[in-house]
Amino acid sequence: MATEKIRISVFLATISIVFFVLLGRLYYIQISKHREFLDKAEKNFLKSIRIPYRRGRILDRNGIVIADWKPGFAVYILKNGLKKNELKNLLDIIGFKTNLDSLYRSLVNYPVIKDLTFEEIVKLEEERDKFPYFVVGTIPLRYYHYPVVLSHITGYTGEVTQSEILRDSTLKLGETIGKRGVEKYYNKILRGKFGERYFMVDVTGQLIKEDPIPPVKPVNGKDLSLTIDVPLQLYIDSLMKKYSKGAVVVLNVKTGGILALYSKPSFNANALAQGISFKHWQRLISDNARPLLDRAISGLYPPGSTFKPVSALFALDLGVVSRNTIFSCPGYYRLGRRVWMCWYKPGHGSLNLTQAIQKSCDVYFYQLGLRVGLGRFLNMLRDFNIGGKVGIDLPGEISSFVPDSAWYRARYGENGFGPGNVLNLVIGQGEIMLTPLKIATLTGLIANEGVLPQPHILKSIEGKPFAPKDTLRWSVDSSLFKIVKEGMWMVVNKEGGTAYASRSDKVVYAGKTGTSQNPHGKDHALFTAFAPYDNPQIVVTVVVEHGEHGSRVAPIAKKIIERYFGY
């Protein structure tokens, strides 16, 4: 009897233990791990795809659309573990040409085949019974209305890389971002936020039901308006047809807004945004003409005689010359055992400062530079912020270069430089290297008598005006600016001026020609101007590589000025 009771007790205990184990397991599955197992279950029958957002548009100052979007087609793969031969069969059906291995690797992270044509989609739909594990969606593709003439400004978009994701964790595989230009600089504003759409599938990935859960709508990017004037940019392109390389900057000196930023040669932004072959890319980056270089903000040139007004301002500010200081030019200047020539070999005779600017007399400026002295001249370059970047809101701007004493010592030794170096610097030759944007900025500071809003390219975001916070300033008496400006007026409007042949009977403007020495071929031609003379509103700076003489390209600036003011 006792044995029987023991057996019953053991049995009941065993039953109790099993019950509590099962109860604990049930608690673990149903309560403790409920969310985890529910997520796994949902993933077995729920697939989500990202709904792409529309990138913000880019418009010019007049509302002309520069960058927009057009609809494209994409195929979203709903099946887990798609095999390479299945992908090959799918691509063969639609005739889609691409690198199979590269696409297969990318589908692991982002299961989408993008940029299909309508015809390819139709073919795929006809074979749906063979490929039941896909859905077709539309995607917005970036489209540029002026893909060549504005390509350096807009830049282009492209698919995000792994290295870019490492730098910015908010980016997602398969996302399109800005790679250059405005697209890159203002990417966070132009960029939107993905939506989400859900599909019910079986274990093979075959679609059972669409939208079992309501989709999450995407948030589109914001529109940007630029200070750029598209018709003016197109007009500049027509004026530059006969030249192979060059840059033009048009700057509003009242607001700091860039009205035109032109660089030649250029590239096709649509081709890059839509994807080009590796061979095409290699040809582009190895092209000796360097079409990817934005010469307006990244090209470095000796400013030549366009720098003489700045040198004159240095000397006036230091008090070593005045408007009526006379120097004689016999066509050359002797310093020690070396003879420094004037561009005009017969010589200009006796001139004052404004006449020296008018006729671009090298010998006058040699003597002016010696009065300033190399040390003080280098200090003025620093104090007037001649080197460095302008700070435009575009990626890729190169710092303009000006030397200092430390640079000379490192390059030539303690005794390897001296007073003679200033003779080159004062006429914009030697080691000074400026971008066209920097030359335009310096001209703007002279035109506006020492005050210039920060040059920029953004006008507004979604209609909300943008105004630069910074203002560039030169602390120089306005009467000194007027002397330099008078000399620049004489360049264009007084007989004997180097740009007298380009004077206008419609708009009175002032300017300065320049010839930039080029050791690799013909000299570069430069011309910088502001208009109107009595109330400056714009600056126009033109650089033509191998153009030889600034007077030859001055007519380009004249025509731009007349066009801007409605003639």
pLDDT tens-digit series, residues 279-334: 888 888 888 889 999 999 999 999 999 999 999 999 999 999 999 999 999 999 99
The answer to whether 92 touches 124, Cβ cutoff 8 Å, is: no
Confidence of residue 5 (pLDDT cuts 50, 70, 90): low
Confidence of residue 38 (pLDDT cuts 50, 70, 90): very low
Exposed, middle or buried: residue 164 (CB in 10 Å: 0-12, 13-18, 19+)? middle
| DSSP output for 292-315 | T--HHHH--B--GGGGHHHHHHHH
Tally of residues, the chain: 567
**What are the residue boundaries of the structural domains of the chain, listed by start?**
47-223, 230-265+293-564
pLDDT given for residue 380 in this prediction? 96
Query: How far is Cα 555 from Cα 513, in angstroms, rounded to an integer?
Result: 11
pLDDT given for residue 305 in this prediction? 96
Answer yes or no: is pLDDT of 217 > 90.
yes
Answer yes or no: is pLDDT of 246 > 80.
yes
Q: Which has more confidence, 467 or 318?
A: 318
Looking at residue 527, its amino acid is F
pLDDT given for residue 37 in this prediction? 47
pLDDT in tens, 92-135: 888 777 777 877 777 766 778 787 888 888 888 887 777 777 78
pLDDT given for residue 458 in this prediction? 98
Domain covering 47-223: architecture:
Alpha-Beta Complex (3.90)
250 closest CA partner among 564, 566, 567: 564
pLDDT given for residue 138 in this prediction? 85
Helix axes 308-318, 362-372, angle to 10 degrees: 40
pLDDT given for residue 40 in this prediction? 47
Confidence of residue 22 (pLDDT cuts 50, 70, 90): low
* Phi and psi, residue 487, nearest 5°: -60, -40
The answer to whether 129 touches 206, Cβ cutoff 8 Å, is: no
Question: Which of 25-29, 365-369, 445-449, 480-484 is predicted with the least confidence, judged by mean pLDDT?
Answer: 25-29
Answer yes or no: is pLDDT of 29 > 60.
no
- Residue 221 tokens read as 């990017």
pLDDT given for residue 41 in this prediction? 46
Answer yes or no: is pLDDT of 500 > 60.
yes
Using a cut of 0.75, tell me whether the model's pTM lies above it. yes
CA dist list (Å): 110 to 76, 82, 188, 430 = 9, 12, 22, 54
487 closest CA partner among 354, 353, 364: 354
Q: Which has more confidence, 76 or 223?
A: 223
CA dist list (Å): 539 to 298, 378, 436, 542, 558 = 19, 26, 11, 10, 11
Q: Which has more confidence, 565 or 6?
A: 565
CA dist list (Å): 351 to 118, 354, 383, 479 = 73, 8, 29, 20
Answer yes or no: is pLDDT of 26 > 70.
no
Answer yes or no: is pLDDT of 2 > 80.
no
Query: How far is Cα 498 from Cα 65, in angstroms, rounded to an integer?
Result: 40
pLDDT given for residue 42 in this prediction? 47
Q: What is the mean pLDDT of the chain?
A: 89
Mean pLDDT of 83-93: 82
pLDDT given for residue 277 in this prediction? 72
Three-state DSSP class for 226? strand
Query: How far is Cα 50 from Cα 55, in angstroms, rounded to an integer?
Result: 15
pLDDT given for residue 126 in this prediction? 83
Query: How far is Cα 511 from Cα 487, in angstroms, rounded to an integer?
Result: 9
Q: For 31-43, what is the HEC assignment?
A: HHCHHHHHHHHHH
The conformation of residue 373, written as its DSSP 8-state character, comes to -
What's the CATH number of domain 230-265+293-564, 1.10.3720.10, 3.40.50.720, 1.10.10.10, 3.40.710.10? 3.40.710.10
pLDDT given for residue 1 in this prediction? 55
Mean pLDDT of 423-447: 96
pLDDT given for residue 185 in this prediction? 97
Query: How far is Cα 169 from Cα 494, in angstroms, rounded to an integer?
Result: 61
Query: How far is Cα 23 from Cα 361, in angstroms, rounded to an integer?
Result: 101
CA 23, 24, 27 angle in degrees (round to 5)? 85
Q: 478: alpha, beta or left, given left = phi > 0 and alpha = psi -120 to 50? A: alpha
Residue where the block lists tokens 């003639």: 567
Residues in Cβ contact with 542 at an 8 Å cutoff, skipping those fewer than 6 apart = 246, 247, 248, 525, 526, 527, 528, 553, 554, 556, 557
Query: How far is Cα 221 from Cα 176, in angstroms, rounded to an integer?
Result: 12
